[in-house]
Amino acid sequence: MNPTLWVWSMGAASEYWRSRKGFILAAIGSAIGLGNIWRFSWLTYRNGGGAFIIPYFIALIVVGVPLIILEFVLGNYFKGSSPKVFRKIREQFEVVGWIAIIDVFVIGLYYAVVLAWVLAYVGFSLTVAWGTVEGVGDLFNSLLGNPLLVGVTLAITWFITWLTVYKGIASGIERASLFAIPILWILSVALVIRGLTLPGSVEGINWYLTPNWAKLAEGKVWVDAFGQILFTLSVMAAPLVVYASYMPEKSELPNSAWITAFANCGFSFFFGFATWGIIGYLMQLQNVASPEQLGVPLGGGGLAFVTIPTAVTLLPGAPVSTMVFGTIFFVILWLAGYTSLISIVEPVYASFRDKFGVDRKTGVTVITLLSFILGLLFVFQPGLIDPVDFMAGSTNLIWVVFLEAVIAGYYFSLKKLRDYVNPYAELRLGPWFDVLIRYVAPIALVAILSYGLVTAGQMSPISAVVLIAIILASVVLAGMKWRGEEK
């Protein structure tokens, strides 16, 4: 290998964020997504209400925050995407970076399809297309059976995402985040106020937060808490690593990581008041004693596409309030998902740039186009989303992040990383950081992974195919030559 070319090919990224605020908002944009809105409040309720806050908070502190810090520092120190970062630590670890990248690419495929449904629902809400409460379920089913409509909203979603990432870090992603995140919060405040002022809301909030301490004895509750923390924070050796590589050297990083984590988890908790206020209202209207008796789904897509439309249809002041609050809800969901989707495309592009010298315009165009085409699979077969998500959006995150912690903790010097960031840090990293990365996080991750494997009822053939495909693609990519590299 020619050393000069090598240095050039591994050179610093030439793009930067315009401001620290832009970087933090983009990281928060990646973190806050569909997961915060329809997964968190449902998981909380199912896993012991207020008691769930404890495993969730523990997962945040022992795995979430240390890993965001680690990803920020690694990305900034090595100035690049995860294949490059891991390769610089040891050549044979490059494949771990590619696994993260292909995995996030796969997440993007179905994540965008859900966003396409959301976009269709922005339109449906504006026209209250489901008509009456009875029409809600039918409309959702007919959307799932309408590949043409979903194909169109998917194309729009990818087009907007393409345009944003194509324009680059400062003029594309930073601008989009500075615009979308404040709007997201303002609209959420409006929805939470509406939720909390509805009759019966207190009853819903009680179901959301009343602690059921006995639940903490269940392993599943802890698995849910750790799995949710990784997904919700986008900790997976992909977006946060590259986002931090666009901060100049000598930047503040650890406190930025704490801010990102708390803004994200705070948003989830806060938004739960809107969701559960509305559920409480439905309970009062239907005169039922528990949320399960409502006959509407409380978690996942069902919450968004069935329960919320049902509830807004019954709001005081309908149909105008139905239109207003239905639209607000789906706009929130779309903006949250859109800023996550751009953070899925950017690391994929950055990895191909680092390794093969692909330029932004070509790279981003090919990635988004390919994602659109492959995503059509989920448009025609929405049933594939769950098993693919089980692997790409959940199980893989756990072991990839485990490897990330082990590689950084045992094959690189954490002290070096601490010394690198501490002079500019608002919150300095002490030896506690090493303990968390070397011992606490890996042990916690292995524990939940083994528990998950033992109880993995969901490991379908489709999930297995996804796993094998991701690993094969990563091995092939890792085996290819770096630009400028002579073998």
Chain contacts with ligand PFF (rule: CB under 6 A)? 30-31, 33-36, 104, 107, 231-232, 234, 236, 238-239, 340, 343-344
Nearer to ligand PFF by Cβ, of 33 and 409: the residue is: 33
Nearer to ligand PFF by Cβ, of 349 and 482: the residue is: 349
Nearer to ligand PFF by Cβ, of 343 and 474: the residue is: 343
- Least distance in angstroms from the C-beta of 264 to ligand PFF: 8
- Least distance in angstroms from the C-beta of 160 to ligand PFF: 16
Closest CA to 118 of 299, 386, 332, 334: 334
Residue 234 gets which letter from DSSP?
T
Sequence-separated contacts (24+) of 455-460 with Cβ below 8 Å? 455/219, 455/220, 456/395, 458/386, 458/387, 458/390, 459/390, 460/387, 460/390
Q: What is the DSSP string of 10-64?
A: TPPPS---S-HHHHHHHHHHHHSSHIIIIIHHHHHHHTTGGGGHHHHHHHIIIII
- Least distance in angstroms from the C-beta of 36 to ligand PFF: 5
Nearer to ligand PFF by Cβ, of 30 and 161: the residue is: 30
- Least distance in angstroms from the C-beta of 350 to ligand PFF: 12
Nearer to ligand PFF by Cβ, of 31 and 113: the residue is: 31
Residue nearest to ligand PFF (CB): 33
Spatial CB neighbours of 160, under 8 Å, sequence gap ≥ 6: 338
- Least distance in angstroms from the C-beta of 287 to ligand PFF: 34
Spatial CB neighbours of 406, under 8 Å, sequence gap ≥ 6: 442
Sequence-separated contacts (24+) of 141-145 with Cβ below 8 Å? 143/117, 143/305, 144/382
- Least distance in angstroms from the C-beta of 16 to ligand PFF: 21
Nearer to ligand PFF by Cβ, of 35 and 280: the residue is: 35
Closest CA to 62 of 472, 446, 392, 482: 446
CA atoms within 13 A on the CB side of 463: 16
Closest CA to 441 of 111, 45, 63: 63
Closest CA to 28 of 253, 259, 229: 259
- Least distance in angstroms from the C-beta of 29 to ligand PFF: 9
- Least distance in angstroms from the C-beta of 33 to ligand PFF: 2
Nearer to ligand PFF by Cβ, of 198 and 308: the residue is: 308
Nearer to ligand PFF by Cβ, of 347 and 409: the residue is: 347
Any idea how long the chain is?
487
Cβ atoms within 10 A of the Cβ of 39, count? Answer: 20
Asked if 482 and 438 touch (Cβ cutoff 8 Å), the reply is no
- Least distance in angstroms from the C-beta of 99 to ligand PFF: 13
Nearer to ligand PFF by Cβ, of 100 and 139: the residue is: 100
CA 177 to CA 361: how far, in whole Å? 20
- Least distance in angstroms from the C-beta of 212 to ligand PFF: 25
- Least distance in angstroms from the C-beta of 111 to ligand PFF: 7
Residue 479 gets which letter from DSSP?
H
Nearer to ligand PFF by Cβ, of 67 and 282: the residue is: 67
Nearer to ligand PFF by Cβ, of 10 and 43: the residue is: 43
Structure tokens, 473: 């693609």
CA–CA distances in Å: residue 124 to residues 269, 406, 428, 455: 27, 47, 49, 39
Tokens 């991701």 belong to 470
